[in-house]
Amino acid sequence: MKVAVVGATGMVGEVMLQVLAERNFPVTELIPVASEKSVGKEIEFKGKKYKVVGLQTAVDMKADIALFSAGGETSLAWAPKFAEAGTTVIDNSSAWRMDPTKKLIVPEINASELTKDDKIIANPNCSTIQMVMVLAPLHKKYNIKRVIVSTYQSITGTGVKAVQQLENEYVGIQGEMAYKYQIHRNAIPQCDSFEENGYTKEEMKLVRETQKIIGDKSIAVTATAIRIPVVGGHSEAVNVEFSNDFDVNEIRSILHHTDGVVVQDNNDTYTYPMPLFAQGKDDVFVGRIRRDESQPNSLNMWIVADNLRKGAATNTVQIAEYLVANNLV
Protein backbone atom coordinates (compact mmCIF):
# COMPACT_ATOMS: atom_id res chain seq x y z
CA MET A 1 0.00 0.00 0.00
CA LYS A 2 1.55 3.27 -1.19
CA VAL A 3 0.51 5.99 1.29
CA ALA A 4 0.97 9.76 1.01
CA VAL A 5 0.69 11.97 4.08
CA VAL A 6 0.00 15.53 2.96
CA GLY A 7 1.03 17.96 5.68
CA ALA A 8 3.49 15.43 7.09
CA THR A 9 5.54 18.05 8.96
CA GLY A 10 2.53 19.62 10.71
CA MET A 11 1.15 18.78 14.14
CA VAL A 12 -1.62 16.44 12.92
CA GLY A 13 0.57 15.04 10.12
CA GLU A 14 3.18 13.95 12.63
CA VAL A 15 0.51 12.19 14.70
CA MET A 16 -0.83 10.51 11.54
CA LEU A 17 2.62 9.02 10.92
CA GLN A 18 2.77 7.89 14.54
CA VAL A 19 -0.69 6.27 14.34
CA LEU A 20 0.12 4.53 11.03
CA ALA A 21 3.19 3.02 12.69
CA GLU A 22 1.43 2.07 15.95
CA ARG A 23 -1.46 0.36 14.16
CA ASN A 24 0.85 -1.43 11.69
CA PHE A 25 -1.00 -0.04 8.70
CA PRO A 26 0.32 -1.89 5.61
CA VAL A 27 2.55 0.90 4.27
CA THR A 28 4.90 -0.47 1.61
CA GLU A 29 5.93 3.00 0.42
CA LEU A 30 5.52 6.24 2.36
CA ILE A 31 5.28 9.58 0.55
CA PRO A 32 5.63 12.47 3.02
CA VAL A 33 4.27 15.65 1.43
CA ALA A 34 4.53 19.27 2.61
CA SER A 35 4.80 22.84 1.37
CA GLU A 36 7.70 23.96 -0.81
CA LYS A 37 9.68 25.27 2.19
CA SER A 38 9.77 21.75 3.68
CA VAL A 39 10.64 19.89 0.45
CA GLY A 40 13.88 17.94 0.85
CA LYS A 41 13.62 17.68 4.63
CA GLU A 42 13.86 14.18 6.04
CA ILE A 43 11.33 12.50 8.30
CA GLU A 44 11.63 9.13 9.98
CA PHE A 45 8.99 6.41 9.79
CA LYS A 46 9.48 2.98 11.34
CA GLY A 47 13.23 3.47 11.54
CA LYS A 48 13.61 4.51 7.89
CA LYS A 49 14.24 8.00 6.55
CA TYR A 50 12.08 9.54 3.80
CA LYS A 51 12.51 12.83 1.95
CA VAL A 52 9.59 15.26 1.92
CA VAL A 53 8.25 15.94 -1.57
CA GLY A 54 6.01 18.62 -3.04
CA LEU A 55 2.36 18.23 -3.98
CA GLN A 56 2.75 17.75 -7.74
CA THR A 57 5.51 15.18 -7.24
CA ALA A 58 3.21 13.30 -4.86
CA VAL A 59 0.34 13.33 -7.38
CA ASP A 60 2.67 11.93 -10.03
CA MET A 61 3.75 9.12 -7.66
CA LYS A 62 0.13 7.80 -7.69
CA ALA A 63 -0.34 6.75 -4.09
CA ASP A 64 -3.14 4.32 -3.24
CA ILE A 65 -4.27 6.48 -0.32
CA ALA A 66 -3.46 10.10 0.60
CA LEU A 67 -4.11 11.31 4.14
CA PHE A 68 -4.53 15.09 4.01
CA SER A 69 -3.93 17.48 6.89
CA ALA A 70 -2.71 20.62 5.20
CA GLY A 71 -5.61 23.07 5.54
CA GLY A 72 -8.76 23.73 3.54
CA GLU A 73 -7.22 25.71 0.67
CA THR A 74 -4.67 22.99 -0.07
CA SER A 75 -7.39 20.32 0.08
CA LEU A 76 -9.73 22.19 -2.27
CA ALA A 77 -6.93 22.73 -4.79
CA TRP A 78 -5.14 19.38 -4.59
CA ALA A 79 -7.51 16.63 -3.40
CA PRO A 80 -9.23 16.51 -6.84
CA LYS A 81 -5.81 16.22 -8.55
CA PHE A 82 -4.88 13.24 -6.37
CA ALA A 83 -8.33 11.71 -6.99
CA GLU A 84 -7.97 12.13 -10.77
CA ALA A 85 -4.65 10.25 -10.54
CA GLY A 86 -6.52 7.33 -8.94
CA THR A 87 -5.60 8.08 -5.30
CA THR A 88 -8.25 7.85 -2.58
CA VAL A 89 -8.04 11.00 -0.45
CA ILE A 90 -9.07 11.12 3.22
CA ASP A 91 -9.17 14.79 4.11
CA ASN A 92 -8.87 16.19 7.61
CA SER A 93 -9.76 19.81 6.75
CA SER A 94 -13.22 21.40 6.62
CA ALA A 95 -13.04 21.72 2.82
CA TRP A 96 -15.27 18.81 1.81
CA ARG A 97 -17.26 18.02 4.96
CA MET A 98 -20.53 19.65 3.98
CA ASP A 99 -20.25 18.90 0.26
CA PRO A 100 -23.38 16.81 -0.46
CA THR A 101 -21.38 14.65 -2.89
CA LYS A 102 -18.79 13.68 -0.24
CA LYS A 103 -19.14 11.24 2.67
CA LEU A 104 -18.38 12.48 6.21
CA ILE A 105 -17.14 9.44 8.09
CA VAL A 106 -16.66 8.24 11.64
CA PRO A 107 -15.91 4.54 11.02
CA GLU A 108 -17.74 3.20 14.09
CA ILE A 109 -20.90 5.02 12.97
CA ASN A 110 -21.20 5.20 9.19
CA ALA A 111 -18.23 3.57 7.39
CA SER A 112 -20.72 1.24 5.67
CA GLU A 113 -21.70 4.21 3.45
CA LEU A 114 -18.31 4.05 1.68
CA THR A 115 -17.89 2.61 -1.82
CA LYS A 116 -15.05 2.31 -4.34
CA ASP A 117 -16.39 5.43 -6.05
CA ASP A 118 -15.61 7.64 -3.04
CA LYS A 119 -12.27 9.14 -4.04
CA ILE A 120 -12.45 12.11 -1.62
CA ILE A 121 -13.65 11.23 1.87
CA ALA A 122 -14.08 13.86 4.59
CA ASN A 123 -12.87 13.43 8.16
CA PRO A 124 -15.12 15.35 10.60
CA ASN A 125 -14.11 18.12 12.97
CA CYS A 126 -12.39 16.94 16.16
CA SER A 127 -15.05 18.24 18.55
CA THR A 128 -17.81 16.66 16.44
CA ILE A 129 -16.17 13.22 16.30
CA GLN A 130 -15.96 12.76 20.05
CA MET A 131 -19.53 13.95 20.57
CA VAL A 132 -21.16 11.78 17.89
CA MET A 133 -19.24 8.71 19.09
CA VAL A 134 -21.34 8.99 22.26
CA LEU A 135 -24.56 10.33 20.72
CA ALA A 136 -24.98 7.87 17.84
CA PRO A 137 -25.68 4.72 19.91
CA LEU A 138 -28.02 6.68 22.20
CA HIS A 139 -29.91 8.12 19.22
CA LYS A 140 -30.63 4.60 17.96
CA LYS A 141 -32.22 3.67 21.27
CA TYR A 142 -33.96 6.84 22.48
CA ASN A 143 -34.12 9.23 19.46
CA ILE A 144 -32.35 12.55 20.11
CA LYS A 145 -34.45 15.71 19.80
CA ARG A 146 -31.99 18.36 20.92
CA VAL A 147 -28.33 18.74 21.95
CA ILE A 148 -26.79 21.64 23.89
CA VAL A 149 -23.00 21.46 23.95
CA SER A 150 -20.28 23.65 25.45
CA THR A 151 -16.75 22.74 24.43
CA TYR A 152 -13.51 23.42 26.30
CA GLN A 153 -10.92 23.00 23.59
CA SER A 154 -7.20 22.33 23.67
CA ILE A 155 -4.81 24.84 22.12
CA THR A 156 -3.39 21.98 20.02
CA GLY A 157 -6.52 22.36 17.88
CA THR A 158 -5.08 25.70 16.71
CA GLY A 159 -1.62 24.30 16.03
CA VAL A 160 2.05 24.71 16.88
CA LYS A 161 1.83 28.52 17.03
CA ALA A 162 -0.74 28.32 19.85
CA VAL A 163 1.33 25.82 21.83
CA GLN A 164 4.29 28.18 21.50
CA GLN A 165 2.17 31.13 22.66
CA LEU A 166 1.12 29.30 25.83
CA GLU A 167 4.68 28.17 26.54
CA ASN A 168 5.95 31.74 26.06
CA GLU A 169 3.28 33.22 28.32
CA TYR A 170 3.92 30.60 30.97
CA VAL A 171 7.52 31.81 31.36
CA GLY A 172 6.80 35.49 30.68
CA ILE A 173 8.22 35.77 27.15
CA GLN A 174 6.55 38.15 24.69
CA GLY A 175 6.27 36.25 21.39
CA GLU A 176 4.10 35.62 18.36
CA MET A 177 0.39 35.40 19.16
CA ALA A 178 -1.91 32.69 17.78
CA TYR A 179 -4.88 34.31 19.55
CA LYS A 180 -6.02 37.92 19.96
CA TYR A 181 -5.64 37.54 23.72
CA GLN A 182 -3.43 35.86 26.28
CA ILE A 183 -4.39 32.18 26.65
CA HIS A 184 -2.38 31.45 29.83
CA ARG A 185 -4.75 31.63 32.84
CA ASN A 186 -7.58 32.54 30.48
CA ALA A 187 -10.57 31.12 28.57
CA ILE A 188 -11.35 32.59 25.16
CA PRO A 189 -14.99 32.18 24.03
CA GLN A 190 -14.05 32.03 20.34
CA CYS A 191 -12.85 29.03 18.33
CA ASP A 192 -12.39 29.97 14.66
CA SER A 193 -13.96 33.02 12.99
CA PHE A 194 -17.51 34.31 13.42
CA GLU A 195 -20.32 33.62 10.98
CA GLU A 196 -23.14 36.09 10.25
CA ASN A 197 -25.45 34.46 12.80
CA GLY A 198 -23.06 35.29 15.66
CA TYR A 199 -21.82 31.73 16.07
CA THR A 200 -18.25 30.71 15.24
CA LYS A 201 -17.41 28.27 12.46
CA GLU A 202 -16.42 25.72 15.11
CA GLU A 203 -19.85 25.98 16.74
CA MET A 204 -21.67 25.58 13.43
CA LYS A 205 -19.51 22.55 12.53
CA LEU A 206 -20.93 20.83 15.62
CA VAL A 207 -24.45 21.56 14.34
CA ARG A 208 -24.10 20.65 10.66
CA GLU A 209 -21.65 17.75 10.95
CA THR A 210 -23.60 16.02 13.73
CA GLN A 211 -26.75 15.99 11.61
CA LYS A 212 -24.86 14.70 8.55
CA ILE A 213 -22.94 11.91 10.33
CA ILE A 214 -25.94 10.61 12.29
CA GLY A 215 -28.10 11.09 9.18
CA ASP A 216 -30.90 13.04 10.84
CA LYS A 217 -31.44 16.74 10.09
CA SER A 218 -34.23 16.91 12.68
CA ILE A 219 -31.70 16.78 15.55
CA ALA A 220 -31.49 20.34 16.93
CA VAL A 221 -27.95 21.27 18.04
CA THR A 222 -26.70 24.48 19.65
CA ALA A 223 -23.08 25.00 20.65
CA THR A 224 -20.67 27.31 22.46
CA ALA A 225 -16.97 26.64 21.80
CA ILE A 226 -14.30 27.88 24.22
CA ARG A 227 -10.50 27.74 23.96
CA ILE A 228 -8.72 26.91 27.23
CA PRO A 229 -4.99 26.63 28.13
CA VAL A 230 -4.91 22.82 27.94
CA VAL A 231 -2.78 20.54 25.74
CA GLY A 232 -4.20 17.03 26.23
CA GLY A 233 -7.53 17.16 24.44
CA HIS A 234 -11.00 18.66 24.07
CA SER A 235 -13.69 18.44 26.76
CA GLU A 236 -17.43 18.85 26.22
CA ALA A 237 -20.39 19.40 28.52
CA VAL A 238 -23.28 17.86 26.61
CA ASN A 239 -26.99 18.07 27.43
CA VAL A 240 -29.24 15.76 25.40
CA GLU A 241 -33.02 15.73 25.17
CA PHE A 242 -34.53 12.45 23.92
CA SER A 243 -37.98 11.67 22.52
CA ASN A 244 -38.17 8.67 24.84
CA ASP A 245 -37.40 8.26 28.53
CA PHE A 246 -34.34 6.31 29.64
CA ASP A 247 -32.69 4.56 32.55
CA VAL A 248 -29.30 6.07 33.47
CA ASN A 249 -27.77 2.65 34.13
CA GLU A 250 -28.95 1.48 30.71
CA ILE A 251 -27.26 4.54 29.16
CA ARG A 252 -24.02 3.55 30.88
CA SER A 253 -24.41 -0.04 29.66
CA ILE A 254 -25.02 1.04 26.04
CA LEU A 255 -21.93 3.27 26.10
CA HIS A 256 -19.86 0.61 27.86
CA HIS A 257 -20.58 -1.73 24.93
CA THR A 258 -19.82 0.90 22.25
CA ASP A 259 -16.52 0.37 20.39
CA GLY A 260 -14.12 3.25 20.92
CA VAL A 261 -15.98 4.66 23.95
CA VAL A 262 -14.75 4.26 27.53
CA VAL A 263 -17.10 5.02 30.43
CA GLN A 264 -15.34 6.70 33.39
CA ASP A 265 -18.20 7.44 35.74
CA ASN A 266 -17.85 6.78 39.45
CA ASN A 267 -18.47 9.64 41.87
CA ASP A 268 -17.35 7.58 44.87
CA THR A 269 -13.83 7.23 43.46
CA TYR A 270 -13.80 10.65 41.73
CA THR A 271 -13.55 8.89 38.38
CA TYR A 272 -14.40 11.07 35.39
CA PRO A 273 -12.75 11.97 32.05
CA MET A 274 -10.03 14.63 31.93
CA PRO A 275 -7.77 15.79 29.09
CA LEU A 276 -4.72 15.13 31.25
CA PHE A 277 -5.44 11.39 31.01
CA ALA A 278 -6.97 11.35 27.51
CA GLN A 279 -3.77 12.63 25.88
CA GLY A 280 -2.14 10.06 23.61
CA LYS A 281 -5.14 7.71 23.69
CA ASP A 282 -7.47 6.77 20.83
CA ASP A 283 -10.68 6.28 22.83
CA VAL A 284 -13.46 8.75 23.60
CA PHE A 285 -14.07 9.02 27.34
CA VAL A 286 -17.49 9.78 28.87
CA GLY A 287 -18.53 10.40 32.45
CA ARG A 288 -20.61 12.58 34.82
CA ILE A 289 -23.61 10.78 33.30
CA ARG A 290 -26.73 12.04 35.08
CA ARG A 291 -30.35 12.88 34.49
CA ASP A 292 -31.19 16.54 33.85
CA GLU A 293 -33.72 17.11 36.60
CA SER A 294 -34.95 20.38 35.08
CA GLN A 295 -36.26 18.87 31.84
CA PRO A 296 -38.09 15.62 30.90
CA ASN A 297 -36.17 12.87 29.04
CA SER A 298 -32.90 14.82 29.31
CA LEU A 299 -29.36 13.80 30.19
CA ASN A 300 -26.06 15.50 31.06
CA MET A 301 -22.65 14.06 30.14
CA TRP A 302 -18.98 15.08 30.06
CA ILE A 303 -17.04 13.86 27.00
CA VAL A 304 -13.25 14.07 26.54
CA ALA A 305 -10.89 12.92 23.77
CA ASP A 306 -7.43 13.68 22.42
CA ASN A 307 -8.25 16.00 19.51
CA LEU A 308 -5.07 15.10 17.61
CA ARG A 309 -5.77 11.35 17.87
CA LYS A 310 -9.43 10.24 17.57
CA GLY A 311 -10.33 13.82 16.75
CA ALA A 312 -8.03 13.82 13.70
CA ALA A 313 -5.22 11.35 12.94
CA THR A 314 -6.68 8.14 14.37
CA ASN A 315 -10.08 8.62 12.75
CA THR A 316 -8.36 9.26 9.40
CA VAL A 317 -6.27 6.08 9.68
CA GLN A 318 -9.33 4.08 10.77
CA ILE A 319 -11.11 5.17 7.58
CA ALA A 320 -8.08 3.97 5.59
CA GLU A 321 -8.13 0.66 7.49
CA TYR A 322 -11.81 0.18 6.60
CA LEU A 323 -11.10 0.86 2.92
CA VAL A 324 -8.29 -1.70 2.87
CA ALA A 325 -10.23 -4.34 4.83
CA ASN A 326 -13.20 -4.05 2.45
CA ASN A 327 -11.21 -3.84 -0.81
CA LEU A 328 -12.46 -0.33 -1.52
CA VAL A 329 -9.07 1.03 -2.57
What is the average pLDDT across 85-107? 97
Enumerate the known binding-site residues for NADP(+).
Answer: 9-12, 37-38, 307
- Please determine, for residue 36, whether its predicted confidence score (pLDDT) is greater than 90: no
Q: 94: domain range?
A: 2-124+312-325
Residues 234 and 165 in one domain: yes
Number of domains composing the chain: 2
Residues 37 and 114 in one domain: yes
Residues 12 and 61 in one domain: yes
Is residue 234 annotated as a catalytic residue, yes or no?
Answer: yes
Residues 135 and 264 in one domain: yes
Residue 200: which residues within 8 A CB-CB, separation 6 or more? Answer: 190, 191, 192, 193, 194, 225
Enumerate the known binding-site residues.
Answer: 9-12, 37-38, 97, 153, 227, 307
pLDDT in tens, 145-160: 999 999 999 999 999 9
Residues 192 and 216 in one domain: yes
Residues 32 and 133 in one domain: no
- Residue 29 is predicted with a pLDDT of 95
What is the average pLDDT across 163-178? 96
Nearest to 35 by CA among 12, 11, 10, 16: 10
Enumerate the known binding-site residues for phosphate.
Answer: 97
What is the average pLDDT across 6-31? 96
For residue 100, what pLDDT band results from cuts at 50, 70 and 90? very high
For residue 181, what pLDDT band results from cuts at 50, 70 and 90? very high
Residues 160 and 226 in one domain: yes
What is the average pLDDT across 235-259? 98
Residues 256 and 118 in one domain: no
Catalytic residue, candidates 126, 184, 191, 256: 126
Residues 140 and 164 in one domain: yes
CATH number at residue 52: 3.40.50.720
pLDDT in tens, 113-144: 999 999 999 999 999 999 999 999 999 999 99
* d(C-alpha 314, C-alpha 329), whole Å: 19
Enumerate the known binding-site residues for substrate.
Answer: 153, 227
Residues 185 and 247 in one domain: yes
Catalytic residue, candidates 139, 184, 191, 234: 234
What is the average pLDDT across 277-306? 98
CATH number at residue 213: 3.30.360.10
Residues 293 and 207 in one domain: yes
pLDDT in tens, 45-78: 999 999 999 999 999 999 999 999 999 999 999 9
CA neighbours closer than 13 Å in the CB half-sphere of residue 162? 20
Is residue 139 annotated as a catalytic residue, yes or no?
Answer: no
Mean pLDDT of the chain: 97
Residues 113 and 168 in one domain: no
